[in-house]
Amino acid sequence: MDKAQQALHTAHENPTLCMREKDVVCKYASTVSAEESFFKQKARIEWLSLGDQNTSYFHKSINRRQNRNKLLSLTREDGEVVKGHEVVKSEVVAYFHRVLGVDQMPRVLK
């Protein structure tokens, strides 16, 4: 890819070099995608082999996922930051109530 880009830099209007660079970039993107897929599959295999064994790996990965999915604070539309589980929960419900225009909130959220 470097050679194709260097050649294109010296003769930037050459259509053959443009096509060559495009082909090389497409091959590179395909290779990166295949590599990413390989590592995803490898991680899934590791998860399947270790996940059900109640190992520290299993607990760390679950804790990491839970921490990543938490909403610890929220910035309101007026710029004020709110914290705390109940306050964040009520802000989310109020926001979607305003956006969706729901007349009554579901019983589960009351």
Query: Which of 33, 8, 35 is closest to 20 using CA atoms?
Result: 8
Predicted TM-score of the model (pTM): 0.37
Mean pLDDT score of the chain? 79
> In the chain, which ranges are continuous DSSP H helix?
2-10, 15-51, 56-68, 85-100
Q: Is the pLDDT of residue 60 over 80?
A: yes
Q: Is the pLDDT of residue 101 over 60?
A: yes
Query: Which of 68, 69, 75 is closest to 92 using CA atoms?
Result: 75
Q: Each residue of 45-55: pLDDT tens digit?
A: 776 666 556 67
Element (H, E) at 11: none
Query: Which of 34, 4, 33 is closest to 21 using CA atoms?
Result: 4
Q: Each residue of 14-43: pLDDT tens digit?
A: 778 777 778 888 888 899 899 998 888 887
Higher pLDDT, 93 or 22: 93
Q: Is the pLDDT of residue 3 over 60?
A: yes
Residue 73 bridge partners (DSSP): 83
What six digits make up the tokens of 70?
Answer: 């938490």
**DSSP for residue 52:** T
By residue count, the chain amounts to 110
Predicted pLDDT at 81: 92
